[in-house]
Amino acid sequence: MKRSTRRLIDDHDLILRAIEAISVEAKNTTDSGNFNESFWIDSIDFIKNYADGIHHNKEENHLFEMYSQRGIGKEFGPVAVMLNEHIIGRVCVNNMESALQNGKTDVQKLVSSAREYCELLIQHITKENQILFPLGETVISDSDEILLNTLFDDAELELGGNQTILHYQNLVISLEERAGILEVVK
């Protein structure tokens, strides 16, 4: 059994790869003026349904709830900061989405909101990996770990389980290819 935070750190690794692709595409868009609408639609899909829908769901509904029961409250301190950053991230992606809508894309708003999201998430993930999760390890018992793993499994299953996760892993590879990070293998 993987530790629950190991599972979340694995999610972070995939999210960071998507963020790298989005950052490169944002720069390409600014430098060349070329705008690849499908790249941005897929990026927003990944952020909303994987980074927020699957990953933040496990943190907010299960890990942070467990922390709260074990003395790391969510009203103030590191968990409160993380929850607030999840909210700011949602504002960024909503701004990206609204920049794409109404038939006429506001590329400048799209790119600046994407950059804001990427900077936020890089810092957020660093804080979780290096500060919050190690702190959490000091209060979570082995039986808590078993429960968290079950709750994470159920949360993932509700959203399509391994099939959905594989879909988003492949979507990140596609974002990397389209951003020019990966050579397309044919």
Nearest Cα residue to 51 out of 27, 83, 81, 18: 18
Of 59 and 156, the one with the shorter C-beta distance to Fe ion is: 59
Of 42 and 59, the one with the shorter C-beta distance to Fe ion is: 59
Binding region for Fe ion (CB under 5 A) out of 27-35, 42-50, 68-76, 81-89 = 81-89
Q: Is 40 exposed, middle or buried (0-12, 13-18, 19+ CB in 10 A)?
A: buried
Q: How far is the CB of 169 from Fe ion (least distance, A)?
A: 17
Of 128 and 176, the one with the shorter C-beta distance to Fe ion is: 128
**Binding residue (CB under 5 A) for Fe ion from 25, 128, 156, 176:** 128
Cα angle 50-102-51, degrees, rounded to a multiple of 5: 10
Check residue 19 for interaction with Fe ion (CB under 5 A): no
Rounded-to-integer distance, Cα 56 and Cα 132, Å: 14
Residues at the contact surface with Fe ion, assessed by CB under 5 A: 59, 82, 128
